[in-house]
A and B are shown apart, each in its own frame.
Chain A
C-alpha cells in the first residue's frame, strides 16, 4: 500500500503509523456520552473513510487520509492541520 504524504510525495505504507478514524475532538464542555462516542464507538464503513496516519519514518506529518475500505484506493490526503479536528473552545 502507498500513501501520498502532502510533504514528501507517495511513500510505502510502512513509513506510516495509523491512529484510526479522523474525528474532531469534542467541544470543550462536551458531556461524557459525547466523549464516549468519540473514543470508543466507531462506524465500520464499507466505503470511503477518513483516517489519521502519522508519517513516522518520514517528515513527522499527521495526515488525514481518505481511503476506500473496499477497494483500498487512497482517494485523497491532506495535512491534518487543515482538517479542523480541534473542536470548539
Chain B
C-alpha cells in the first residue's frame, strides 16, 4: 500500500507494467518489488526445491526469493531480482518455477514430501541402479532443477565491454563512499564512484536521518551536485563491482538497458574492467534473517527492507506489522511505521535489555517461533517466559543483525575476522593490496562513523598517491551505538529456513554435521547452502553459526566459506561481450578475395584466413570436378594461386645468417645471395616445429616463409631466440605477412605467363631453380622466387599488398590466355600430396626429422635449436612411425586422413596399430587415390600391403606402401 507523502518519489509519473499478465500501476523510480508491494502483491515466486510460496525478503541485490522473468520470447531474461529491476512503461514480468501459476503450483506437492528431500537426498536416493542415472534420474532432476528458464533462442541483445582507469575506485555510494569520493575528488584525484543501485546514497535513502543538519536526501543531492561538477570524478550508477583481481583490477557490471524499454544501439549490460591505483570498499552491510519455523512466508521481510520500502518508496508492506529483532536498529522500523500511520502490533526482541518505547508495544526476551498463513503470513507465534501466544500480523519485519559486505576483500584469498561486538565477520585489513574498507562493510554501522571512515580511507589513498588533500569537515550525523545480541536460530519444531533460495533449513545443516560433514566447506556442498545465485549473502553466517553450534565449536574456529567473484550474478553475454558470432573469430581476407568471389570461388577457413577452395566452372556440379580440372591446368598449362597466408618474416642485420643457422637444422649462412633454400625448424625438445623456404635477398637480408598454421608461433619463437638466447647478435626481425601479397604461378607455361607481365624477361639461366630476386611488374617493384609446391616449373611472385588485387587479376587474365587459370586449396593440396610435400597435417608436433626422412638435414657442424634433444634414444629408432605414401590395391577406394593402419592379418585393435594417415586425396594425374601416412618402419616396407581402417567413415581398404613422392620423383619438371 502506498502511503501519501512518504518516500523520495514525490511527484513521480505513474507507470503501467504487468505481472503474470495482470496490469498494474507503479511510479517512476519504483523497483518491481516496491511496485508489487504497493499493489498489495506479496506472493512473487515459488521456491527452488519445495515450491513454497515466496515473497519479497529484501530490497537489494541480495534478494533470494523474488526472482522473476522479464520479457518474453528471445528477449526474455530469467532470474532477475525484482528488488533491482526498475519498472518502466510496458514492463512485463512473470513468476518462475511454478506451473500452472504462482498461485496454484502443481509441484508444491514437494513440500508435503519434504521429509524425504532433506540434505543429501540426491546422493542417497539416486545411487542405484546405476543404469537409471543417465536415462531416468538425471533428466528428471534437470527438469526439476533451476529457477527461470532460458528462451532457447539466439539472444538478439548486445552487451558491451569497457575499460577504465583511475586513481581511486570507490565501491558503494552510501555515506562512506560519498565522503571518500568527495575527499579524493576535491584533492584532484581521478575518482570513479560505482554504485550498484540506481541511485546513490546507500542506506541513507532508506532511513529517516539528518546529515549536516538537513534531511539525508538533501545532503545526498548536495554531495552529488558537487561530485557531478568535478571533471575528475565519474559517477557510475547501476554498476555493481563484482570482483577484485590482481594489481588493482576490478570487474564491474553496469546495467545499461534493463531499466527502460529496448532502444536501438544501446547495450543491455556493459562489463567494465577498472584498473585503480587505490580503492575504497564502502559496500555497506546486508541484514540477516532469523531462522525460525516457517520464516519463509510471503510478508516476512528483513526489517531494513521494510524501512526501505516505507522511507524510500513510500510503500507500507503491511497494515498490521510486527517486528522481530535482536538489535536496536530494527526498532527504527517500528518507529518509522508508526510515524507513517501504520499499525505496529508488536516488537518482539530476543534481548531482555531491549529499549522500551511509548509508540509501540515491546516484548523483551521473546522469540518468534513460527508463522502461519499459506500465501502470505497471517499470524506469528511468539514464545516468552509467559508461554506461547499467537499474534495476528500481515507483515513481519525481522532482523538478526547485519553482516558487513566484505565479499571483495576475500577475492584474493583473504579471510575475514570474527568480531564479537557486532556478532559478525569484518574484513581483515590488507587482504586486497591497495583496498581500504570504510563504513558498514568494515563493521562501523553508524552514519557518523561511515562518514569518518570514508574520509579517512580517502586520505590514506591520497597519501599513497602522493596527492595533497584539501580541507574537508565531517558533517554531523547519526552516531548511535550498534547494540546486538547474536540470535541465529529459534529452537523448535518445523523447518526453519537459512538459505531461502536453495531451500536449506537449520535441520539440513544439523543433518550434515551429524553425518560428519563438519567442515564448513563440506557442509556447504552437502546441503547446497549458499550455492544459489545469491551466494548465501543473507544466510552464510547464520548457517555457519548453526554448524558451529551443532559441532560444539565457536564461530571463529568453524571458519567461513570462501567468497569468490562475482559478487552479484554476471551474465555470460556481458562477460563475453563482443565475442558472439563473428566477434569470436575475426576474418582475414586476402587481397585476391574480391576477385575470387567474383569468380564464384568457394571459400575455406584456414585459421582466421579465408582462402579460395576451388573455382567452379559452369557445368561443374561437385568440388571434385573443379579440383581435378584445376590440377590439370597446373600439370598441363599454368595455374595461379594466392599463397599470401604463409607467414613471411623479414630478417635483417649483420648476424641474420647466424640467427637462421641457429633456428634451422640446416645451414643458411652459406646460401648464396639470390637463392632460396628449404629449411627445417625444430623445437628445443627435438621435434619438428615448422618448415618453409628462406630466401637470401642480400648479404644481411633474408625473407623466411612459414606455414600458414605456424606463422605466429614461429614469429614468437624467433623473437625469443633473438631477444632471450642471443641478445648480443645484431639482427632485427619483423613480420611482413600482411605487407606482401604472394602468388604461386605453377605449370609448364608459368615462365611464359610471367614474361607477359615482367618488365625484364626471364629464362632458365637468369632465374634457375631456387633463384630469387627483385623484379618490376605492373610498374611496381616486386620479388620473384623460383620455388615449387606443386612439382611443376613454378614461381612465386610477391608484390606490396596494395597491388595484390591488380596483380592477381592480371595473372589470371594471362593464365587464361595460356590455357590455364586459378586454382584453389583443394587442388593445391592434391598437387603437394602427389609430390610428398609437407604441411601441418604431417608436422603435427609429434614427428621428428627422422620420421620425415630428413635426418640428413640436421647439421653436425653447428649448434641449433633442438639439436641436443633430437639425439635422444627413441627419436631415431626404426620402430618409429615414418613418412610413406599409400595407394589403394585393387579397385579405386577412398582413403581418408585420420584413418589408422594395420597389418592385413592382424585384428583391428589398438595394440596392433601400425600408423595413421595424415593427408589423402584423389590424383587425377595418376588416376587413383594418394595418401601420406606415418607407418612403423615405413621406408622398409615399400611394396608391402597394409590395411587402412577408418571407423568414423566406415572405410576398410587394402593399400600398398609406396614412396611418398608419387609424381616425378627425380624432380625434373620443377627444374626444367
Contacts and interface: CB of A to CB of B under 8 A. Distances in A.
Given A25-B725, A72-B412, A35 B720 contact: no
A32 B869 contact: yes
B803 interface: no
Nearest to B867: A28
B685 A39 contact: yes
B869 A52 contact: no
B869 A81 contact: no
B571 interface: no
A54 to B, nearest CB: 6
A30 B868 contact: yes
Interface residues of B, number: 25
A83 B723 CA distance: 10
A79 interface: yes
Interface stretch (B242-250, B442-450, B644-652): B242-250
A56 B716 contact: yes
Interface in B202-252: 245-249
B273 A82 contact: no
A73 to B, nearest CB: 7
A52 B724 contact: yes
Given A1-B246, A1-B247, A73-B433, A86 B725 contact: yes
Nearest to B715: A60
A85 B863 CA distance: 16
B167 to A, nearest CB: 14
Interface residues of A, number: 33
Nearest to A73: B433
B448 to A, nearest CB: 35
B869 A39 contact: yes
Interface in B705-738: 716, 719-720, 723-728
B600 interface: no
A52 B269 CA distance: 36
B506 to A, nearest CB: 38
A2 B716 contact: no
A2 B249 contact: yes
A21 B684 CA distance: 15
A85 to B, nearest CB: 5
B872 interface: yes
Given A2-B247, A2-B249, A73-B433, A60 B868 contact: no
Interface string A8-38: 0010110001010000011010101001000
Contacts of B248: 2
Contact of B863 (A19, A81, A82, A89): A89
A79 B868 contact: no
A75 to B, nearest CB: 12
Contacts of A87: 725
A54 B716 contact: yes
B660 interface: no
A61 B87 CA distance: 52
Contact of B872 (A19, A32, A52, A82): A32
Q: Which of B246, B724, B872 has the most CB of A within 10 A?
A: B724
Nearest to A79: B723
B88 to A, nearest CB: 36
A39 to B, nearest CB: 5
A72 B246 contact: yes
B159 interface: no
Contacts of A86: 724-728
B720 A19 contact: yes
B50 to A, nearest CB: 42
A62 B719 contact: yes
B126 to A, nearest CB: 39
Nearest to A84: B727
A14 B917 CA distance: 37
B949 interface: no
A65 to B, nearest CB: 12
A80 B872 contact: no
B869 A83 contact: no
Given A32-B868, A60-B719, A83 B863 contact: no
Contacts of A25: 684, 725
B684 A39 contact: yes
A3 to B, nearest CB: 8
B44 interface: no
B786 to A, nearest CB: 32
Contacts of B33: none
Interface string B864-898: 00001101100000000000000000000000000
A89 B728 CA distance: 13
A35 B869 contact: yes
Interface string A47-88: 000001010100011100000000111100001111101110
Contacts of A62: 719-720, 723-724
Interface in B675-724: 684-685, 716, 719-720, 723-724
B191 interface: no
B807 interface: no
A46 to B, nearest CB: 13
A85 B716 CA distance: 16
Contacts of B412: 72
Given A56-B716, A62-B723, A80-B724, A2 B868 contact: no
Interface in B50-85: none
B293 interface: no
Contacts of A72: 246-247, 412
Nearest to B873: A32
Nearest to A67: B246
Most chain B CB within a 10 A radius of its CB, from A28, A62, A73: A62
Contacts of A89: 863
B727 A81 contact: yes
A60 B716 CA distance: 8
B631 interface: no
Interface in B270-284: 273, 275
A10 B273 CA distance: 15
Contacts of A74: 247
Nearest to B684: A39
Interface centre among A19, A39, A87, A89 (most CB of B within 10 A): A39
Nearest to A17: B716
Contact of A54 (B684, B719, B725, B726): B719
Contacts of A54: 716, 719-720
A32 B871 CA distance: 9
B723 A81 contact: yes
Interface string B417-452: 000000000000000010000000000000000000
Contacts of B726: 86
Given A2-B248, A17-B716, A54-B719, A85 B724 contact: yes
Contacts of A28: 863
Contact of A81 (B273, B433, B716, B724): B724
Nearest to B725: A86
A63 to B, nearest CB: 9
A53 to B, nearest CB: 11
A80 to B, nearest CB: 4
Nearest to B412: A72
Contacts of B684: 25, 39
A2 B275 contact: yes
Interface of A: 1-2, 10, 12-13, 17, 19, 25-26, 28, 30, 32, 35, 39, 52, 54, 56, 60-62, 71-74, 79-83, 85-87, 89
Interface of B: 245-249, 273, 275, 412, 433, 684-685, 716, 719-720, 723-728, 863, 868-869, 871-872
26 contacts: A1-B245, A1-B246, A1-B249, A2-B247, A2-B249, A2-B275, A12-B249, A17-B716, A25-B684, A25-B725, A26-B868, A32-B869, A39-B685, A39-B869, A52-B720, A52-B724, A61-B723, A72-B246, A79-B723, A80-B727, A82-B727, A85-B724, A86-B724, A86-B725, A86-B728, A89-B863
Given A32-B872, A52-B720, A86-B724, 10 more contacts: A1-B245, A1-B247, A2-B247, A19-B720, A25-B684, A30-B868, A39-B685, A85-B724, A85-B725, A86-B726
* Pairs of residues from A and B, 4 with the lowest C-beta to C-beta distance, nearest first: A81-B727, A2-B247, A80-B724, A1-B246
